[in-house]
Amino acid sequence: MVKVTYTGLLGSYQYLTDSYSTGAFELQTPTDKKAIFIDGLMATRVVFGGKGFDFDGDAPVSGKIKSVTFENAEGADFVKVSGGEFKLKQLVDILVDDGVEALIKKLCAGKDTVTGSGVADPLYGYGGNDTLIGGKAEDLINGGKGNDTLTGGNGPDMFVFYRGADKDTITDFDAKGGEGRQDFLYMNQVLSFTEREIKGGIVVDFGQGDEVTLLGVTKHDFSRADILLREFDV
């Protein structure tokens, strides 16, 4: 389980992968606790922190990773991933061979907590039963597959849901709207659904095991008007 923290430095609705190229990464002189890889094209950085780091030239030999920080060219944090325990060689090989997106997927494959910033963040949970917490702006929150718990925070948020997303719970869905507070389910296809009341909210059931629990919402509050249809890949 890892904790993923966004700082807001990426900017509104900017994905981390947009700040990195698909080119080669260059290793700065590592220590036994830190290894910095610099994107050869964009000069952004990926910093591995941990213990027992050992390299044979640029090739990792051994070491355990406790944190991975994605930084701009000046060394300021975009996103920090902490917790969990990974092998240095495994993560470096993923970064060098497959890039930042593959690295993030590996880091976030378990039961993780993702926290947004003060700008509009695109938060993603990947696999596992994750907890995603938005910040003060209009976030795009996607738990991915798994039974996730999602909180939008302040601002009108969009919660991504699709066939195969499993069972998600949204703790603060605003279905009433007004004064820019309206939240939406953000889906890529029309799915029929039924609603049932539970203690403290409702369950919107899309069938085939896919459902969203909306806490603090009544059947009277929720309708198809609370669903936005957009094209996107999953």
Confidence of residue 155 (pLDDT cuts 50, 70, 90): confident
Distance CA 72, CA 70 (A): 7
Let me know: does 68 contact 81? Beta carbons within 8 Å. Answer: yes
pLDDT tens digits, 189-218: 989 999 999 999 999 999 999 999 999 999
Average pLDDT over residues 22-35: 94
For 171-189, the pLDDT digits (tens) are: 999 998 766 679 999 999 9
**pLDDT for 178:** 63
Q: Do 132 and 152 form a contact (C-beta atoms < 8 A)?
A: no
Q: Are strands 113-115 and 77-87 parallel, antiparallel or unpaired?
A: unpaired
